Chain A
Amino acid sequence: GAVVSQHPSRVICKSGTSVKIECRSLDFQATTMFWYRQFPKKSLMLMATSNEGSKATYEQGVEKDKFLINHASLTLSTLTVTSAHPEDSSFYICSAREKQGNQPQHFGDGTRLSIL
């Protein structure tokens, strides 16, 4: 149980392109979803927390106009990297918590984004 699916797993695109990443909870309803960024051989850095039906809460230093987050349903959150540049290249990982009970976060398999 508690499977989180993230798509796509790999994106390579030109500078200036906007990229959308989807995060789905497959077998549970997720009131809260999270978006992280991970640099090579580094730990996870929380970018934002999204609650279904409300605006995302961004961590300090994360540009909300650059990283648009939508959490329109209890099973889907999306992260759109707008006008991506090479410095946005990274490994982006989402996670979700079940609506019921006090359970930890379960993570997706990440999206490797490369901006040329």
Chain B
Amino acid sequence: QKEVEQDPGPLSVPEGAIVSLNCTYSNSAFQYFMWYRQYSRKGPELLMYTYSSGNKEDGRFTAQVDKSSKYISLFIRDSQPSDSATYLCAMSDISGGYNKLIFGAGTRLAVHP
């Protein structure tokens, strides 16, 4: 079993839809949680990061962490074609901090007009 599981998709949605992206993990010691967006042939871009549990909102993006279920989510409201990209979740524990990230495989999202 991988430490971090993420459905690779592709996920295809119409413009304006609410998108839900998810990752599950097995290591209960994970405390740092991140979401990155990666466009084709580009490096990952940091979208959101949280420490421990709870929700965080930034514009159209909301990140949720449910440590009891070992489940994190990224919601995108009013999705736009420019949101079409691969979304990577990443996480780590206290000892690794932001240095030792474990990445999910990435979910490819396509938002069509």
Q: Which residues of A contact B (CB under 8 A)?
A: 2, 4, 6, 32, 34, 41-44, 46, 49, 91, 93, 95, 97, 102-110, 112
Contact = CB atoms under 8 A, between A and B. Distances in A.
A107 to B, nearest CB: 4
Given A43-B88, A110-B42, A112-B41, A105 B98 contact: yes
Contact of A107 (B36, B98, B99, B104): B36
Contact of B98 (A43, A102, A108): A102
B103 interface: yes
Q: Which DSSP category, helix, strand, loop or mixed, fits chain B's interface? A: loop
A93 B49 contact: no
Given A43-B104, A43-B105, A43-B106, A93 B99 contact: no
Most chain A Cβ neighbours within 10 Å, of B34, B43, B105, B106: B43
A49 B99 contact: yes
Interface size class of B (residues with CB under 8 A): 20 to 34
Interface of A is mostly: strand
B44 A93 contact: yes
B102 to A, nearest CB: 9
Contacts of B43: 4, 6, 93, 95, 107-110
Nearest to B105: A43
What 6 pairs between A and B have smallest CB-CB spacing? A107-B43, A43-B103, A109-B43, A110-B43, A107-B44, A104-B98
A104 B105 contact: no
Contacts of A44: 44, 88, 103
B88 A104 contact: no
Given A46-B100, A102-B97, 17 more contacts: A4-B43, A34-B99, A41-B8, A43-B104, A44-B103, A46-B101, A49-B99, A93-B43, A93-B44, A102-B98, A104-B34, A104-B46, A107-B36, A107-B44, A108-B43, A109-B43, A110-B42
